Amino acid sequence: MKAAILVKSHEPLVLADIELPRELSFGQVLVKVLYSGICGTQINEIDAVKGEDKFLPHLLGHEGSGVIVDVGPGVKTVQKGDHVVMHWRKGAGIESETPTYRWKDQKVNAGWVTTFNEMAVVSENRVTAIPKDFDMSIAPLFGCAITTAMNVVNNDAHLKIGESIVVVGVGGVGLNIVQASDMVSANPIVAIDLHNHKLEMAKKWGATHCINSKTNPNIKEEILKIVGPKGADVIVETTGIASLIEMSYELTQPQGRTILVGVPKKGDNISIYSLPLHFKKVLKGSHGGDSNPSEDIPRYIRLHQKGRLKLAEQITHRLSFDSINKAIQVLRSGEAGRCVLNISN
């Protein structure tokens, strides 16, 4: 079966035929992958932003949709034929051992979930069953972008009605943080990005104010004009750029919350004045918003079915699996809202 393999850091993925493990271990399921999203996490893995990659060659992808083909011993939460979302956060069920594939007589490593492959051996706790009539081409968004964003707002930021929020970077996750902020009636909701087309999308998703940080030389002053001189109640930083993390912390009000979603490159240190942290100011790194996919995905599907949650509208690029390296370049360019790959066709 075809897979996209990260063979060497900083280089394009290699599309090749690889061999599945001969049998499923305790707690594993076999998934026919239909669609996969691409996230900044995969860019970070390709670029080895956390340091030397000791697991090469290996598979990638952590948000997808598919159909259960087989289940291993001990699996109880899903069964053959179930339509599922594949996600990186732990849900219900067993956390299995990770699988090993074969390619050209060498081992290919993989984590508990991968989605850049036509067939994937996945840990039971990385799949959640969804209704069989749900559109599988938009389902991958529940694997990361939607669940992360909604839970950053709910669990990390504890955003209240009428509080101000600034979202720095409105890509796939940032756009949905704007959407979630609008759902809880935050005000104002300020979106910041380099790209006007993303800011236009943010307006449609609920942003009350938009600032292009590339063309506006006085971004700090502009933010304070909108949220008030004390700063914002909440600022969510999604880019991982050290200077923007420092700015976000600086512009958060004295008892506000600065939430870091973006991951800085190894060695990119930040410098802050830490005294306010002793007086109720919060600086917090997010780990997927502490999402529980087994509980969250069914709730968010119901929201979508009621017309309360926009999904298809944020997918700006739909490409074939063979175009995966092109899709990665599109994501790097900043042109994409959300990019979805058709893995099965």
Question: Tens place of pLDDT for every residue, the chain, 345 residues?
Answer: 999 999 999 999 999 999 999 999 999 999 999 999 998 889 999 999 888 999 999 999 999 999 999 999 999 999 999 999 999 999 999 999 999 999 998 999 999 999 999 999 999 999 999 999 999 999 999 999 999 999 999 999 999 999 999 999 998 899 999 999 999 999 999 999 999 999 999 999 999 999 999 998 899 999 999 999 999 999 999 999 999 999 999 999 999 999 999 988 888 899 999 999 999 999 999 999 999 999 999 999 999 999 999 999 999 999 999 999 999 999 898 877 889 999 997
pLDDT at position 336, please?
A: 79
| CATH (domain of 262) | 3.40.50.720
* Same domain assignment for residues 31 and 73: yes
* Same domain assignment for residues 134 and 157: no
Residue 219 lies in a domain: yes
Residue 293 lies in a domain: no
* Same domain assignment for residues 95 and 17: yes
Tell me which DSSP letter residue 110 carries.
Answer: -
Identify the residue whose tokens are 């790097």.
332
* Same domain assignment for residues 212 and 318: no
* Same domain assignment for residues 172 and 43: no
* Same domain assignment for residues 278 and 164: yes
Residue 9 lies in a domain: yes
* Same domain assignment for residues 150 and 228: yes
Task: Name which of 206, 126, 95 is nearest 159 in CA terms.
Answer: 206
pLDDT at position 299, please?
A: 96
* Same domain assignment for residues 80 and 28: yes
* Same domain assignment for residues 265 and 337: no
| CATH (domain of 113) | 3.90.180.10
Residue 305 lies in a domain: no
pLDDT at position 40, please?
A: 86
Residue 178 lies in a domain: yes
* Same domain assignment for residues 172 and 90: no
pLDDT at position 266, please?
A: 81
pLDDT at position 180, please?
A: 97
Reported as type and span, the H/E element at residue 283 is strand 282-285
CA distance 156 to 165: 13
Number of domains the chain contains? 2
Residue 304 lies in a domain: no
Q: How crowded is residue 203: how many other Cβ atoms within 10 Å of its Cβ?
A: 14
E strands in 14-144: 14-17, 28-37, 58-59, 64-71, 83-86, 100-103, 106-109, 119-123, 127-130
Residue 156 lies in a domain: yes
pLDDT at position 267, please?
A: 83
Any idea what the Cα angle at residue 54 is, between residues 267 and 119, rounded to 5°?
120
* Same domain assignment for residues 162 and 275: yes
* Same domain assignment for residues 149 and 280: yes
pLDDT at position 187, please?
A: 98
Reported as type and span, the H/E element at residue 42 is helix 40-47
Domain coverage including residue 7: 2-138+311-342
Residue 301 lies in a domain: no
CA distance 53 to 59: 12
Q: Which residues contact 120 (CB under 8 A, 6 or more apart)?
A: 30, 31, 33, 59, 64, 66, 86, 110, 113, 114
